[in-house]
Structure 1
Amino acid sequence: MKAMLLAGVAASVAAVLTFGSSAQAAPGDTLKAVKDRGVLNCPGHNGSYLGFAEVDDKGVWKGLDIDLCRALATAIFDDPDKIKVVPISWTQRWPALQSGDVDIIIKASGGTFSRDTELGFQFSNSYYLGTTKILAHKELGLTSLKDADGGSVCIPAGSAQERQVASYASRIGIKLETIAIEKTEELEDAYFSGRCDLYAQWGPVLGIARSVAANPEDHVLLPDVLAVEPEVMIVRQGDEQWLDIANWMLSVLLFAEQEGIDSTNVAEAKANPATPEIAKMLGVTPGFGTPLGLSDDWAFNVISKVGNYSQIFERGLGSQTPYKMPRELTALWNNGGVLFPFVID
């Protein structure tokens, strides 16, 4: 089973490389291409990835990943609506970025060695730290994954979870029947209908899936942590300016939260900046935009129109949603988490 799984992963990587080699986008010109096009192309999902990239019955996209794309569009165009959401599957992420069909991957994706060295990508700082875990039917009476030897597990096809489950199962000495399904809705239907004993996923997604299940108490999160994965924004190698813009956009969201600046008070903060760093970030002191190819007030525009990181999180995953997800490790460094901004000097 493990050999077959690894062979499938290798075949998927080979297919991506073949696609990319025939339709590579030129590196180094992303900002110019986006400005010329007049819109930022961002990946969505081929369904709904609740809390991160989901679409409502009116066709409006929302979620943490989508709002980060809106923030990036605001930094460039001063308009959060200058985005085009391209619905793509997990396996389509890489050829879509290589070919230029999307400008950046903000799609709950981790930075890995093969994505760097084989696919030719580079990564931003992490904007979310999540763990890979296992959801199980309570009636099975499992206390850990080791009790599930011989069972079946639903896994998102084309994702890092395939490799993580195989590696973890091998390490603890059990065998699992893997059922890989591409679409999240079909994957969850398979688990909740009883087709699979287990559901392996990124922890936040499992938490959301359980919270909206018909009977949440019928499902338990096992204590096993299969992997810890920092989610990053991913761009093509050779475009340092574009990576800088993504990193500083994220840093502005975190710095604003750290300094207590949000969409409701950013105008006051700009009129009376409390520190030189805030003055520079908000464009009162010149020089924060030109080196990036942006206007000096780009950060002010982002905060005023999209909010700081906390506002984005609560709107996509937290208190303003049915999911009520806690920040946990995704909190700021000074509030029990691991996220931090760069220094503005």
Structure 2
Amino acid sequence: MTMKRGWIAAAVAAAGLSGIGTSAIAESETLKTVQERGTLLCSGHNGSYFGFVEVNDKNEWKGLDIDLCRALTVAILGDPDKNQIVPLSWAQRFPALQSGDVDVVIKATGWTMGRDTELGLQFSIPYFFGGAQLMVRKELGITSASELGGGTVCVAAGTTIERIVADHLKAENVEHTMVSFEKTAEVIGAYKAGRCDAYAAWGPSIAVLLANQFEDADAHVILSDKLSAEPIAAAMRQGDEDWVDIVNWMLAALIKAEELGVTSANVEEMTANPPNPTVARLLGVDAGMGERLGLRDTWAREMIAEMGNFAEIYDRNLGEGSPYKLARGLNNLWSNGGVLYTPILD
């Protein structure tokens, strides 16, 4: 344990033993369970979902969603390594959450009405936006989803993509056969083997896939049809509002830090000399950031020091610092042409 993590651990212990935030801790059963266990249980993937939840050549988890889990771990436990990533298929993630096998699902998960009202889930503020799209081989000469008549579409089971694509093709009166697979790798393998005419997936993931998994990337084309505009959010069990608050403000703090220019490189300087009251509140210089959540006031500062702000996390996993070079587009700040914004930090 480094010296920095040593004093963070001491602060975590002190917050748990003091009267600060006592009512919030008592009311959030999930937070209490995580603190007593000493480990945060996050959703992983049964394989790699490149750029978001993947395993590197050292058998280590990485990706945007993994880093968000690590950020939440710092916020709660003061150490990004005090988490366990539980490998789950798309279909397994919600039963695992409902049964308590994971504390939170941060895994490219779309916020839908059915999941919100029928599965007993609650969602965080969105942290990513993307829509369902289709990829085909250029040699087929297909330029639109409406031209897929009689074709076969491969898709991952248990995802919103399955329903969205089926609904769109039905509305277009396109006869097709949908073939679903449990693992993302199986979907990709089936498409590469020519078992299907189209590969249906989330647009950003298709772009990442082409950049990483296809030696003949130029032989394929992503159709311009955007079948949905899907908000991606963390999923939690209903009934623990204080836990939802913690996850929401973890995400908000990362985005707010980017907006305010607070980075892993300058966070200590910003703490010593806050340029404005909002930065002072965010970094725990002024009290209140932690007490209202049942955490220590310095949790956001520690999280940014360890993980960076949202831009830093995006860049190393999906952007210019990654193999994928995926432009942020909609996933930029509202002030930079995107749609990401946060609640007011008062």
Fold shared, TM-score > 0.5 on shorter chain: yes
Alpha-carbon offset, residue 104 of structure 1: 0.4
Unaligned runs of 5+ in 1: 1-26
Q: CA deviation at 1:141?
A: 0.3
The 1-side partners of 2:132 and 2:113 are apart by 18
The equivalent of 1:265 in structure 2 is 266
Distance 1:70 1:335 in 2: 26
Q: Is the Cα–Cα contact under 8 Å of residues 28 and 238 in structure 1 kept in the other structure?
A: no
Where in structure 2 are there 5+ consecutive unaligned residues? 1-26
Give per-residue Cα distances to partners, 1:299-331, cap 9 Å, x unaligned: 000100000000000111111111110100010
Q: Deviations over 1:54-104 (max 9, x none)?
A: 011322100000000000000011111111000000111111000110000
C-alpha distance in 2, partners of 1:165/1:319? 30
Match of 1:282 in 2: 283
Matches within 5 A, 1:111-126: 111-126=111-126
Query: Contact (CA 8 Å) 1:43, 1:106: kept in 2 or not?
Result: yes
Q: Secondary structure at the match of 1:337?
A: coil
Deviation string 1:223-265 (CA, Å, 9 cap, x unpaired) is 1111111000111111111000011111110111011110000
C-alpha RMSD of the superposition: 0.9
Post-superposition Cα deviations, 1:108-155, rounded to whole Å, max 9, x if no partner, equal: 001111111111111111000001100001000011111111111111
Q: Secondary structure at the match of 1:188?
A: helix
The amino acid across from 2:323 in the alignment is P
Contact 1:135 1:198 in 2 (8 A): yes
Distance 1:341 1:186 in 2: 37
CA contact (8 A) 1:42 1:105 kept: yes
Task: Report Cα offsets for 1:179-220 as digits up to 9, x if no partner.
Answer: 101111111111112111100000011111112201110000
The equivalent of 1:333 in structure 2 is 334
- Residue 257 of structure 2 corresponds to which residue in structure 1? 256
For residue 135 of structure 1, what is the aligned residue in structure 2?
135
Partner of residue 6, structure 1: none
3-state secondary structure, aligned to 1:300? helix
Paired AA for residue 181 in structure 2: I
Q: Counterparts in 2 of 1:137-286, with a 5 A limit?
A: 137-212=137-212, 213-286=214-287
Cα shift at 1:28: 4.3
- Between the aligned residues of both structures, percent identity stands at 51
Any idea what SS the aligned residue of 2:136 has? Answer: strand
SS of the residue corresponding to residue 106 of structure 2 reads strand
- The separation in 2 between residues aligned to 1:117 and 1:259, in whole angstroms, is 35
Residue 21 of structure 2 corresponds to which residue in structure 1?
none
Partner of residue 299, structure 1: 300
Runs of 4+ in 1 over 6 A off after TM superposition: none
